[in-house]
Structure 1
Amino acid sequence: MSDDAGPERADAAAEDRAAGARNSAPGPRREARKQVLLRLDPKVYDALARWASDELRSTNAQIEFLLRTSLSDAGRLPRHTGPLPRRGRPPKRPPEDEN
């Protein structure tokens, strides 16, 4: 087999190497998050994007939230599934009293 598999294979190999470098770092290992291409009706996407904006989430986070909620309601969410990753700015700490 030749190395003439095209730029897609070269990109995938580079991603594999980068993932290996990230996974070799010390500390607890996290399972890589899956990337999924999702084709949606544009009107459905727009409705999801508006809903996500109302909830101060990205569209991707809103889709994951809805999927997890549906899986949980149906009793199909895997038992040891971690919480949704928290992204963004950490919460503000209340000001300390100066006594």
Structure 2
Amino acid sequence: MADRKSLLLRLDPAVHDALAKWAADELRSTNAQIEFLLRRALTEAGRMPRSAGDIPRRGRPRQDS
């Protein structure tokens, strides 16, 4: 897996709270929710680089039945 970039993001506290609630509703971290939304916006705008990897999966691996 490629190295992940870190960045400092300053948000209005109300925006952060709304993102955190949305992330919790979808069982994601706030960071994962921000990445999910950025990737969706890039894809919709036709600007997603072909070299971008998938979002790394976290948590337990799925059990095959």
Same fold per TM (> 0.5)? yes
Q: Equivalent of 1:77, from 35, 48, 53?
A: 48
Question: Which residue of structure 2 lines up, in the alignment, with residue 61 of structure 1?
Answer: 32
Q: How many residues align?
A: 65
Scaled by the length of structure 2, the TM-score of the pair is 0.93
Q: Which entry has the higher C-alpha Rg, 1 or 2? A: 1
In the alignment, structure 2 segments of 5+ residues that lack a partner are none
**What is the root-mean-square deviation in Å for CA atoms of aligned residues?**
1.0
* Structure with the larger RCO, 1 or 2 (CA within 8 Å, 6+ apart): 2
Identical aligned pairs, as a percentage? 66
CA distance in 2, matches of 1:55, 1:33: 22
Q: Report SS of the residue matched to 1:71.
A: helix
Scaled by the length of structure 1, the TM-score of the pair is 0.62
Structure 1 runs (4+) greater than 3 angstroms displaced: none
In the alignment, structure 1 segments of 5+ residues that lack a partner are 1-29, 95-99
